[in-house]
Amino acid sequence: MPSATWASALVFLFLATLCALIPPVSAAEWSKLKVCSDLGFCRRQRHFSLASGLAYCVVVDTIGRAQWRGMPAIVATVVSTAPGHPDLTLAVMDVGMHTFRVALHEVEPLLPRYVVRDALADGVQPRSLDDATLVIHADYANIFRSDAPARVRIMFDPFRVELVREDDAQVLAVLNADDRLQVEPLREKPPPSPSPSPSPSPSPEPSSKEKAEGSPSDAKAPSVAGATPGEENEDAGDDDYDAYEDEHDDEVTGVARKKEGESGDERGDGCDGCWEERFQSHTDSKLRGPESVGADMAFPFAEHIYGIPERTKRFSLEDTVDAEGNATSEPFRMYNLDVFEFELDKPLGLYGAIPFITARNKADTVGMVWLNSAETFVDIRAKKDSAGKSTHWFSESGIIDVYFLPGPSAKDVFQQYLRLTGSPAMPQRFALGYHQCRWNYRDEADSKAVDAEFDKRDIPYDVLWLDIEHTNGKRYFTWDYSRFPDPTALQNHIAARGRKMVTIIDPHVKRDKNYALHQFATEQKYYINKPDGTPFDGWCWPGSSSYFDFTSPTVRQAWASRFNPKDYPHFTEHLYTWNDMNEPSVFNGPEGTMQKDLLHGDNLEHRHVHNIYGHYFMQATFEGLLQGHGGNDRPFVLSRSFFAGSQRYGAIWTGDNTASWEHLANSVQMLLPLQITGMVFSGADVGGFFGNPAPELLTRWYQAGAFQPFFRGHAHLDTNRREPWLFGEPFTGLISQAIRRRYEYIPLWYTLFAGNALGQSGEFGESWRGPPMRPMWWEFPEDEEADTNERQWMVGNALLVAPVVKEGASKHTVYLPDNELWYDLYDPSGFGKAVVKAGNVEIECELDRMVVLQRGGTIVPKQERRRRSTAAMGRDPYTLVVALNARREAEGELYMDDGKSYDHKSGAYVVRRFRFADNTLSVETVGGGKKPFHGSDALVERVVILGYGGRGAGSATVEGRTVDVAYAASTGVLTVQRIQVKAGDGDWALKVE
């Protein structure tokens, strides 16, 4: 055969092999992801309950004060006469902030069970129980403190743990209410039976609704850019990559599901999927055997359950099991995955998992954390014979480790959760501006051109992002010098305009013997290993890749140490980090992720820590930026994967969404659960990652994104360019307008984030210590319409945002709670015009109309000068927008510091409180104010009073000095101008006559 023909054949063979390794880039194929019937532990747990007479009960004479894992607790032994159910140790602890911890595990496990570490805040330790009261009655025991809003009651037979309001008026939560407590005992592996044993009771046939939902998706697949044919061996990945013994290569064929009556008993030892399971071509060897844990948790008072992100379902979570016990859909899954082109209204989890729910009705609220980082499912059902909701939680491994957060309000539950898992990181001011990103800006010239066009168009932005193509062959901590010949000069060029840059760094490391990071990890043995003890070799963007074991503190510190100009050339003070693919994503792994039987340090299987892996990666990067920037510069990290407590390290986004009206609407449903579970610095890719948004859709998405916490435009490599100026008028002008409005409200956003990050000090009012983006019921808990409203939200307690999410809409229905005054901020007939109606109100909404209203009784700080970035706004004057309520009163706060450092910890900050009453605006310092900082001398320039109405212009004085007044009779808005008093210093008053 001629050499050319041989060459063609080799190229064809290479491409065919590549195609076999890379999942197809197409719409999500949900059949490629596991459902409950594919997992032995889910089959064994989902429909389990102990029969009457076999339920667990407490051995009463074992109850008492003791040490549990070195911590003070009330302990007891819990037993069942049911065969195969081990004796359990119960431990109840008070961890402060009125929060109780309840742990259950085997009394004497064959092997140690994993207990989640590092999700909770530093310093969270059980309080001494010496001053707690333990009263043992005939049928139950009470544990309570005199200052707590709830007590724990342990029922003896059958065993229950109840959280009860202190006045005994309401049972808030009941663990094991339906006797679904099941801890599978660790055991010796039995020899194979000669023939399979009968299967256990099968799961019920899926309902029509369950079938209609379909099954779950491929992991995000690399395009040709991920591994280009013809590259050198170092760039394309090792040709003889391991692929984990080849059997772990993905198949593109369908998945064989377990059928009715079919067991997962691969060994024939009578245990359904306990020792080995196969999915597609992947085998999960379970050397420890079955070790799942499960328990039900009832909330007798609750009408709604919220939380357990991340997924695309309704905000108020729907029942997955009916009152008769029949499954109506798949249970909600928490298993972090890189889901390619995720679809909507699916119960499976996406990139992150926070095992925390809020249960509420209009009078009461309680929270519960199920602290387990293994794969977890949750069923929700209505109670058959009583009010309330019941949940059923089951995890593949670990222990039952539950935290009760007694409320009694949603605001109390949120503060209890932040005290437990840590306050969100205080962002730099730039991080709250607009971020411009795509996969990928081609080169240095392209990056500079984008930056220049923002200035030319007078559009503010703060951060320019570079995706994976900026690296040398997907080797992180490197640059492609053919495209970016002088990265330091590029960063300095961007920074000269007050802006920053972000580069992507993923957890997979190219297996190239000449790559310094791979050499370092190999020599130090920092990689996750296969069961045989050799480094795991999976396939990701660089080709053959290994993964740092971020569960190890030593490895995390080693990773953090790389953020310096020596190990990361051109690392400057202007550069921050984007952590992607950290579920972790493995293209040729089961469901596009890592095998569960891989080993971390101390022979810890990946199955135990899967959901917290991305959290650890984010933590290591946060520490790296903190060290690399000198210790006083607040890090900015964006992560795709997350767990409870990840809010301590930065921001997340909702992943690879699609350019559609449905995905725009769904961004609200996805962000609200993140907000109330502490992951407050979150947002969705504006415009959708996949696809090409029509100009109208893109405009509406910018209008919505401008009022969500994290505001970034991003797009896939194969999409058309979509920078704001590419669409012509009126679209470019309207997109620019939306971005500018974001910048006007930076003081409000910054104050709200400070209230979360620093609000535990008590210097902030209660209204500033909730999530920045709030569900309607947060502010209006007694309004039943608000309970299920997921079309709109509140920014703080002040702004109601109701984005238009339907194509071609010229009218939009907004729900306005009763007994409130609202002022329309973007009414074409005049700024701040009062809306006198309540309930569902129809508002005109042509494309140039953003639907944002300010609530009466609030004062909102703004900065209205046009600037190119937040850095230029530091000393800009403030405008205070005072929206009067029916009593003609209002209040608000403003937090100020230098916007970038930790100097606020040493007193360089100020919290200012504004109150308007009796026609007087009074201003006082309620926190800080002891040290100056950049911007502390900024002035208040204007005060705008909404709802002043019908009194004419009048006059105004500040500290005895007369100032200018203007009155708009058509809207009733009074504007006081040229006030020129310090925003951050001194008590002063403005009197309106």
Give the pLDDT confidence of 35-66 residue by residue, as tens digits: 999 999 999 999 898 887 789 999 999 999 99
pLDDT in tens, 441-458: 999 999 999 999 999 999
Task: Please tell me the number of Cα atoms within 13 Å of 488 on its side-chain side.
Answer: 7
Catalytic residue, chosen from 38, 291, 580, 779, is: 580
Tens digit of each residue's pLDDT (9 = 90 or more) over 605-621: 999 999 999 999 999 99
**Residue in the structure block whose two tokens are 């997350």:** 642
CA 359-365-370 angle, 5° bins: 45
Q: Cβ(549)–Cβ(576) under 8 Å?
A: no
28-42, 137-151, 712-726, 956-970: range with highest mean pLDDT: 712-726
Examine domains 46-186+292-421 and 856-993 and report if their fold is the same.
yes
The CATH homologous superfamily to which domain 856-993 belongs is Golgi alpha-mannosidase II (2.60.40.1180)
Residue 181: strand, helix, or coil: coil
What pLDDT score does 227 carry? 31
* Element housing 711 (H / E): strand 711-713
State the pLDDT confidence band at 31, using cuts at 50, 70 and 90.
confident
Which class is domain 46-186+292-421?
A: mainly beta
User: How many Cα atoms occupy the beta-carbon half-sphere of 755 within 13 Å?
Assistant: 29
Among 246-255, 307-316, 479-488, 962-971, the least confident range: 246-255
Long-range contact pairs involving 280-285 (C-beta distance under 8 Å, separation at least 24): 280/32, 280/250, 280/251, 280/253, 280/255, 280/590, 281/247, 281/248, 281/249, 281/250, 281/251, 282/247, 282/248, 282/589, 282/590, 282/595, 283/247, 283/248, 284/590, 284/595, 284/596, 284/597, 285/531, 285/597
Instruction: Output 207 or 565, whichever has higher pLDDT.
Output: 565
* Tokens describing residue 491: 């960063």
Residue 233: the pLDDT is 38
pLDDT at 16 over 60: no
pLDDT at 29: 60
Can you give the residue ranges of every domain in the chain? Answer: 46-186+292-421, 856-993
Q: Is 583 a catalytic residue?
A: yes
What is the chain's mean pLDDT, rounded? 90
Sign of the C-alpha dihedral computed for residues 232, 235, 240 and 246 taken in this order: negative
Tell me: cis bond preceding 372? Omega within 30 of 0 counts.
no
More confident residue, 258 or 584: 584
* CA 296 to mean position of chain CA atoms: 25
Taking the CB of residue 459, how many other CB atoms lie within 10 A of it?
22
Looking at residue 521, what DSSP letter applies?
A: H
Reported confidence tier of residue 271, pLDDT bands at 50, 70, 90: confident
pLDDT at 395 over 80: yes
779 given a catalytic annotation: no
Residue 247: pLDDT over 70: no
Return the closest-CA partner of residue 889 out of 944, 952, 943, 945: 945
Residues in the chain: 993
Rounded average pLDDT over 974-989? 95
User: What would the pLDDT profile of 672-717 be if each residue is shown by its tens digit?
Assistant: 999 999 999 999 999 999 999 999 999 999 999 999 999 999 999 9
Q: Give the model's pLDDT for residue 769.
A: 85
State residue 193's pLDDT score: 67
Averaged over 539-557, what is the pLDDT? Answer: 98
Q: Which of 242, 291, 506, 656 is catalytic?
A: 656
User: What pLDDT does 767 receive?
Assistant: 82
| Band of residue 863 on the pLDDT scale cut at 50, 70, 90 | very high
Give the model's confidence band at 243: pLDDT under 50 very low, under 70 low, under 90 confident, else very high: very low
Q: What is the pLDDT of residue 954?
A: 78
Q: What is the mean pLDDT of residues 405-412?
A: 96
* CB-CB neighbours of 971 under 10 Å: 20
Question: What's the CA gap between 827 and 160, in Å, rounded?
Answer: 56
Query: For 523, how many CA atoms within 13 A lie in the half-sphere containing its CB?
Result: 9
What tens digit of pLDDT does each residue of 616-669 get?
A: 999 999 999 999 999 999 999 999 999 999 999 999 999 999 999 999 999 999
Catalytic: which of 338, 412, 583, 605?
A: 583
Residue 263 vs residue 459, higher pLDDT: 459
pLDDT (average), residues 921-939: 96
Q: In the prediction, which pLDDT does 257 show? A: 53
- pLDDT, one tens digit per residue, over 331-355 is 999 999 999 999 999 999 999 999 9
Mean pLDDT of the region 501-516: 99
* Residue 959 Cα distances to 82, 768, 912, 929, angstroms: 79, 28, 17, 20
Q: How far is CA 593 from the centre of its chain?
A: 19
% of residues, the chain, pLDDT over 90: 81
Cα–Cα distance between 443 and 32 in angstroms, integer?
A: 36
Give the pLDDT score at 753. 98
Q: How confident is the model at residue 253 (pLDDT cuts 50, 70, 90)?
A: very low
Q: Has 242 been annotated as catalytic?
A: no
